[in-house]
């Protein structure tokens, strides 16, 4: 997935992951047993369950694994904050 299509944000005690996965090019004769989706836009909301410091959040993606780090500090503002992703 291209990194420029991946957007992370935090709002109200939840991590919001948005992005777009390019459609895979498949051969006409290819058969699949199970596939969640071929491609397109997606959005996932992950509840965090604890107070977090959104201002000092950071995220990395390596070998297809997204890792997000939030320091455990109360956030009194409660607004949505964009989180930059690095390689």
Q: Which two tokens stand for residue 69?
A: 């780090």
Cα(59)–Cα(80) distance, integer angstroms: 16
Across all residues in the chain, what is the average pLDDT? 79
Q: For residues 54-78, give the mean pLDDT.
A: 79
Band of residue 22 on the pLDDT scale cut at 50, 70, 90: confident
Band of residue 72 on the pLDDT scale cut at 50, 70, 90: low
Cα(63)–Cα(41) distance, integer angstroms: 21
81 pLDDT higher than 60 = yes
Band of residue 70 on the pLDDT scale cut at 50, 70, 90: confident
């Amino acid at each position: 997935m291209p990194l420029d299509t991946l957007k992370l944000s935090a709002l109200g005690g939840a991590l919001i992951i948005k992005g777009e996965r390019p459609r895979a090019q498949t051969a006409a004769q290819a058969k699949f047993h199970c596939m969640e989706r071929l491609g397109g836009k997606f959005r996932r909301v992950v509840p965090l369950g604890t107070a977090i410091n959104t201002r000092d959040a950071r995220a990395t993606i390596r070998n297809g694994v997204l890792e997000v780090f939030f320091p455990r500090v109360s956030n009194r503002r409660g607004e949505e904050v964009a989180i930059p992703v690095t390689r």
